[in-house]
């Protein structure tokens, strides 16, 4: 029997590995490892990215393992665009700009459209049929192993070109999409929030985490915050051009304000609230690194992401009885249905709701739980 430990980045939250089904002895030892988890859909195990735990795993496996790169499917073959493809791309980019799409959407759609043209090098792009588009998406799924999220981006980019650039009928290019996953947002406990916020020793890093959680901001929103967006007299943070190009305001915590005043005295930001070393915007990747480091140092859930703090902000407000409509406004959700997902988290986490067995035992004094 041979196990496979997959290569991982130093900054990765978890290390994935595969063991044969019949390895019952290994399985029992792995279950006893701190943070071990089985991923049913992927048929893989994982442990937290920690050298000591990794060494314990290797001791369990002995010499019966190998290090491997995860199968992420084939990689795209790049080539220079033809003169006609460059014209198609220019039309595509022009329409994206005219419609005012965000930089992130512009970049994502542009990349996928280029890949699409490269793949269909010997075909007339404007004349491709719906069936040929679906065949392309199918190949991306089966050969290149793209995710559901990536699949939707590809479909959106293709539909944009054929419907908005070429003016084709929407119904004709209605491509089959993946079934939407019904997942609950990942939420941290109040104790974990305290651990996470206290982890950074650097004042700027601590301020970033405080802003993300206390105001429920997205990672892109904190990167775009200006000094003038902190309205200390009226206790609110102004968020300019958030998702969907909507302005909104959110809470300015009293404790965050104290921290930001210390931060301002030390760093003296000129325009952007969180500045990089060169005085420009602090990058999204830098914010993610700050968060990942805090997660590792605090020992909270390795599955947490910067967006987890936004989910946690909403859930904790709901737990304290804040009206759902108010939370919807703070988060900038267009529909209340988007905000209502946090009520499902509350139903699971709320300590007021007891399991039926606990109620039965409480009402029957003679009932004993055998141990």
Tokens for 351? 């300590």
46/292 Cα distance (integer angstroms):
17
- Of 115, 218, 248, 311, the catalytic one is 218
Instruction: Classify residue 40 by burial, with Cβ atoms within 10 Å: 0-12, 13-18, 19+.
Output: exposed
Nearest to 105 by CA among 118, 96, 117: 96
Number of other residues whose CB lies within 10 A of the CB of residue 364 = 9
From the candidates 95, 226, 240, 307, which is the catalytic residue?
A: 307
323: left (phi over 0), alpha (psi -120 to 50) or beta: beta
Q: Which residues contact 174 (CB under 8 A, 6 or more apart)?
A: 130
Residue 292: active-site member = no
Residue 248 annotated in active site: no
Check 18, 120, 243, 293 and give the catalytic one: 243
Assess contact for 185 and 311: CB atoms under 8 A.
yes
Report the interhelical angle of 130-142 vs 148-159 (nearest 10°). Answer: 160
Q: Is 310 tagged catalytic? A: yes
Output the CA–CA distances (angstroms, integers) from residue 165 to 95, 133, 158, 195, in the order listed. 6, 16, 10, 50
Any bridge partners for residue 66, and if so which? Answer: 4
Q: Is 9 a catalytic residue?
A: no
Catalytic residue among 56, 310, 311, 316: 310
* Catalytic hit among 65, 162, 213, 342: 342
- Whether the CA torsion 42, 46, 48, 49 is positive or negative: it is negative
Active site residue 342: yes
Residues with catalytic function: 218, 243, 307, 310, 333, 342
């Amino acid at each position: 029997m041979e196990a496979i430990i997959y290569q991982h980045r130093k900054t990765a939250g978890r290390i994935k590995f595969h063991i044969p089904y019949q390895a019952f002895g290994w399985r029992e030892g792995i279950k006893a490892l701190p943070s071990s988890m089985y991923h049913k859909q992927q048929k893989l195990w994982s442990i937290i990215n920690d050298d000591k735990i990794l060494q314990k795993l290797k001791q369990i496996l002995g010499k019966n393992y190998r290090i491997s790169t995860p199968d992420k499917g084939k990689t795209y073959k790049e080539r220079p665009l033809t003169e006609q493809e460059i014209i198609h791309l220019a039309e595509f980019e022009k329409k994206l700009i005219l419609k005012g799409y965000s930089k992130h959407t512009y970049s994502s759609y542009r990349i996928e459209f280029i890949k699409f043209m490269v793949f269909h090098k010997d075909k007339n792009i404007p004349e491709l049929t719906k069936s040929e588009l679906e065949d392309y998406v199918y190949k991306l799924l089966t050969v290149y192993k793209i995710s559901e999220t990536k699949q939707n981006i590809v479909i959106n980019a293709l539909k944009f070109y054929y419907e908005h650039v070429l003016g084709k009928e929407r119904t004709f290019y209605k491509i089959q999409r993946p079934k939407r996953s019904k997942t609950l947002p990942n939420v941290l406990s109040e104790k974990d929030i305290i651990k996470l916020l206290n982890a950074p020793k650097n004042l700027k890093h601590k301020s970033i985490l405080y802003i993300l959680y206390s105001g429920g901001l997205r990672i892109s929103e904190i990167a775009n915050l200006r000094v003038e967006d902190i309205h200390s007299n009226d206790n609110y943070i102004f968020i300019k051009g958030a998702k969907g190009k909507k302005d909104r305001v959110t809470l300015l915590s009293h404790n965050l304000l104290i921290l930001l005043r210390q931060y301002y005295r030390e760093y003296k930001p000129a325009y952007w609230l969180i500045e990089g070393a060169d005085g420009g915007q602090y990058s999204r990747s830098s914010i993610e690194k700050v968060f990942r480091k805090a997660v590792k140092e605090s020992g909270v859930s390795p599955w947490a992401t910067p967006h987890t703090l936004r989910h946690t902000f909403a859930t904790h407000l709901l737990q304290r009885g804040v009206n759902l409509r108010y939370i919807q406004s703070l988060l900038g959700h267009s529909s209340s249905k988007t905000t209502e997902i946090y009520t499902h988290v509350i139903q699971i986490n709320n300590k007021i709701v007891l399991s039926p067995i606990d109620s039965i035992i409480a009402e029957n004094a003679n009932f004993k739980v055998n141990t």
